[in-house]
Copies of this chain bind each other. A is one copy, B any other.
């Protein structure tokens, strides 16, 4: 049986959803490590951003429907997924991780977490199953698990975001773009990716290492 790695998507595009390069590099690394990606997303709205202008349009799209673009249609509503279905869980970055899966982008350490995302992440942590978080997604993990587990994780070296992460009870660790932070006690792996990457190869290298580390922790 292949190891089943949940991949939680938050839309399709860095400014209002999942960062596409990070999500695809995650899927590729999972497959190349002999595991199976199980894509999922919440069935909620997102506020559309025109990626040519960088401006919000005022229109809404659906996170699950847009995430299906990255998953080539093979995607599950996260409300239907339990920790027992998975061996590990990975969160690619993009603003969607901080705006759709929670409201960290607006609220920082006091962020509210989308209920099914919070439930599944807490189930995984309680079952001691590994969690990977890429780019800004470690802030989501920190806001969800900080109080109970005090994880060590990284979003690179942005001092403001690091401070907000530390306010959740988690500990931020500075980390270069092609490296990763592994919290072995909590089985939480993180890498900065496009929080620091100047190009797709830098992001991919850290993600490849992080996905491999997640799978080795299973």
Contacts and interface: CB of A to CB of B under 8 A. Distances in A.
Interface of A: 12-15, 19-21, 24-25, 27-28, 31-32, 50-52, 54, 64-66, 68-73, 75, 194, 199-201, 204
A52 B70 CA distance: 11
29 contacts: A13-B69, A14-B69, A15-B73, A20-B24, A20-B69, A20-B70, A20-B72, A21-B24, A21-B27, A21-B28, A24-B200, A27-B200, A28-B200, A28-B204, A31-B199, A32-B201, A50-B65, A50-B68, A51-B65, A51-B68, A51-B69, A51-B71, A51-B72, A51-B73, A52-B65, A52-B68, A52-B73, A54-B73, A72-B194
Given A12-B12, A52-B64, A28 B201 contact: yes
Given A12-B20, A52-B75, 8 more contacts: A12-B69, A20-B70, A21-B28, A27-B200, A28-B201, A32-B201, A51-B72, A52-B68
Nearest to A22: B24
Per DSSP, chain A at the interface is helix
Contacts of A20: 12, 20, 24, 69-70, 72
A32 B71 CA distance: 24
Nearest to A24: B24
A78 to B, nearest CB: 13
B72 A31 contact: no
A72 B14 contact: yes
A31 B200 contact: yes
Contacts of A32: 201
Contacts of A70: 20
A73 B51 CA distance: 5
